[in-house]
Amino acid sequence: MLVVKEVTKSFDDLPVLNNIGFQIADNEIVALIGPSGCGKSTLLNIISGLEPLDIGKIEYSGDAISYVFQDDRLLQWRSVWDNIRIVNNTINENEISELICDVGLKGFEKYKPNQLSGGMKKRCGIARAFYYKSKLLIMDEPFQGLDYCLRQEMLKMLLRVWNRRKQSVLFITHEIDEALTVAGRIVVMSKRPGTILQEFNLKGIEDRSLSSLEINNIRQQIVSSLT
Ligand code: ADP
Ligand code: MG
């Protein structure tokens, strides 16, 4: 679905990405984890064609990409409903209602962004990204700045919506526990210039809590590769 091949990138004489390669299959959630400044956002800009690469290649079988950014980027003068509706030319009221319900915003359809809490804005941004039909959804540190409990709730909500709609997701984060909660696979990047250090397959691991031996083991491996 998405193949990132040997991507290398510098900004002037600052090397940022070095020989990055990984793949995302249909309906898979891949978490890309790496320290701040290692080139994660640069890589997603390259994947989406906003930034040219120096060496390498991106192969994507879809024609559009959806995003959830760190900041919510909602239209301030439009309601929750309209912020979601506007990204798609064909209006499917049932689908919008279902998404609003899935993300937990039922009853708030008419609210404007300035009447919503930070968590509610994120929910709206996620509903919007899923309503914008594409094969790939990229989330760039979407829950950064939220408190621990709210982040856990958001991750659960993301999995709930994804389970019903099954789309490929590239989830970018520097929080190991976020990756361990949602990912089918985890790709670990080094500090800048970012290279791929390791990949972990988590498919089939039902218990994602830290009390799970398997999860704890993967966590330890990620921590030691990053330190
Ligand atoms: P991350 O998202 O992993 O925190 P970024 O991709 O934002 O990292 O940044 C990686 C490095 O590339 C940083 O050192 C940053 O200063 C540099 N960088 C990012 N964008 C630009 C740009 N447009 N021009 C010059 N340097 C940039
Ligand atoms: Mg970033």
pLDDT above 90: residue 100: yes
Question: 139, 170 in Cβ contact below 8 A?
Answer: yes
Residue 41: exposure state from Cβ atoms within 10 A (0-12, 13-18, ≥19): middle
Q: What is the mean pLDDT of the chain?
A: 94
Query: Is the distance from the beta carbon of residue 11 to the nearest atom of ligand 1 less than 6 Å?
Result: yes
Rounded to the nearest whole angstrom, what is the distance from the C-alpha of residue 189 to the centroid of ligand 2? 13
Query: Is the distance from the beta carbon of residue 16 to the nearest atom of ligand 1 less than 6 Å?
Result: yes
Residue 185 pairs in a beta bridge with 30, 201
Pocket test for ligand 1, best of 9, 20, 42, 173 (most atoms within 8 A of CB): 42
Q: If you take atom 1 of ligand 1, which residue's CA is the nearest one? A: 37
Residue 15 pairs in a beta bridge with 10
Taking the C-alpha atoms of residue 108 and residue 85, their distance in angstroms, rounded to an integer, is 14
Query: Is the distance from the beta carbon of residue 17 to the nearest atom of ligand 1 less than 6 Å?
Result: no
Question: 69, 122 in Cβ contact below 8 A?
Answer: no
Name the 3-class secondary structure at 149: helix
Pocket test for ligand 1, best of 11, 45, 51 (most atoms within 8 A of CB): 11
pLDDT, tens digit, 9 for 90 and up, residues 160-205 = 999 988 899 999 998 999 999 999 999 999 999 999 999 999 999 9
Taking the C-alpha atoms of residue 222 and residue 214, their distance in angstroms, rounded to an integer, is 12
Measured from the Cα of 36, ligand 1's closest atom is 4
Tell me how far CA of residue 45 lies from CA of 37, 75, 84, in angstroms: 14, 22, 23
Question: 140, 73 in Cβ contact below 8 A?
Answer: no
Q: The whole model's pTM is what?
A: 0.93
